[in-house]
Amino acid sequence: MKKQVGIFCVTLLLFVWATKAQDIHFSSLNFNPMFSNPSMTGFMNSKLRVSSIFRNQWQSVSKGYNTFLASLEFQPYLSINNKRGFGVGFCFVNDVAGELSYGEKDISLNIAYFFAINREKSAFVSVGASVGRKNWGYDLSNASFNRTGTYDDNITFDELHTWDFSLGTSLQYNITEKKQLNIGFALFNINESKLGYFETSDKNTKINRRYSTNISYLHDVSDRISIRPQILYNNQHKYNELVYGTDFVFDLTGGIFNQQFFSVGLFARNVEAIIISPKYKFNNFLAGISYDVNISGLSKVSHTYGAIEFWLSYAFSPYNVKYKNNKIPCPIF
């Protein structure tokens, strides 16, 4: 029994060591701007937006990661001339893996303020902040060991709690209706909370800061076709993630009240995965799928299956709230 406990503890500690330096990430780059950068909270042409995404990763290798995110954001204030406003959002994430469903449950509050920087109100700057609480734990129903609580080597099996403070800023510029530039920078885990299962805090490891930068540019190549190249770069301690590629956007709109877009994205993450991401927009409803084709050294084991994601988003304005012309320049996708 003690051997089982020892293996269990070592597995937990190795898992924590591997995950403490890498935050949760998704392959769908634009499914939830608020999650990617707190400054994008409430930056939209509607009063409310609800979003959700489910990600399944490494299922062909073992009982891999299952990640679910749900968010709600709203825009409590927008000036009469549409030159400034602020947004508030809430985000819940559940991420588990392995036979013991080890992982985290996060809940965060986001606040952002945005304002126009030119008279035409075609360029906006946003600043935002996020504070979140993370609960780290596991399901012991599949575990067997001789005792619970604290192990002989000052290792605790209790649920852990950490806090996360993040900041972000972004620029959204509509050169024309179908030429849009977006640049953003965010800093996550500013406080670098400590995480670990040792009772003495000096033996635990910190959750390193993560620096995130994204650039995208929407450019029309014809009346009905646009391209949107994008780059996302994340750095967290010694880990680097670079996602780059292009969305090919097709305008299927048939009238003023029937706005439709379909896009197909082709991206690469470092040298380990190719991401295929089709998306569909009908008025304020968005839906998409992302599939990771694994091309790393693990492809022989994973059979090229990396991850799959399904996501939905819906924005609306209750109580018949209407926006004036010259709305804030939120991106098409």
- Contact between residue 321 and residue 47 where contact means Cβ atoms under 8 Å apart: yes
- Contact between residue 166 and residue 38 where contact means Cβ atoms under 8 Å apart: yes
pLDDT (0 to 100) of residue 148: 52
- Contact between residue 296 and residue 274 where contact means Cβ atoms under 8 Å apart: no
Longest alpha-carbon distance in the chain: 72
Q: What is the pLDDT along the chain (333 residues), one digit of tens a residue?
A: 434 433 334 444 444 444 444 678 788 888 889 999 999 999 998 899 999 999 988 665 667 788 999 999 999 999 988 899 999 999 999 998 877 778 889 999 999 999 999 998 899 999 999 999 998 887 767 666 655 544 455 666 677 889 999 999 999 999 987 899 999 999 999 999 888 766 665 656 788 999 999 999 999 999 899 999 999 999 998 889 999 999 999 999 877 667 899 999 999 998 888 999 999 999 889 999 999 988 866 655 555 667 899 999 999 887 655 544 445 656 555
Cα–Cα distance, 131 to 83 (Å, whole number): 26
- Contact between residue 121 and residue 115 where contact means Cβ atoms under 8 Å apart: no
Q: What contacts 166, CB < 8 A, 6 or more positions away?
A: 38, 129, 130, 131, 132, 186, 187, 188, 189, 190
Count Cα atoms within 13 angstroms, Cβ side, for 249: 24
pLDDT (0 to 100) of residue 147: 54
Domain 2-320 belongs in CATH node 2.40.160.40? yes
Helix (H) or strand (E) holding 220: strand 210-220
Q: Taking phi first (over 0 means left), then psi (-120 to 50 degrees means alpha), and beta for anything else, what does residue 18 get?
A: alpha
Amino acid letter, residue 304? T
SS3 state of residue 47: coil
Helix (H) or strand (E) holding 3: helix 2-19
Quote helix, strand, coil % in the chain, to nearest 5: 10, 55, 35
Query: Model-level pTM?
Result: 0.82
- Contact between residue 56 and residue 307 where contact means Cβ atoms under 8 Å apart: yes
Cα–Cα distance, 160 to 86 (Å, whole number): 33
pLDDT (0 to 100) of residue 62: 64
- If you count them, how many residues does the chain have? 333
pLDDT (0 to 100) of residue 32: 87
- What is the CA angle 233-70-30, rounded to 5? 35
Count Cα atoms within 13 angstroms, Cβ side, for 212: 28
Q: In 3D, which of 80, 103, 78, 83 has the Cα closest to residue 93?
A: 103
Cα–Cα distance, 188 to 289 (Å, whole number): 26
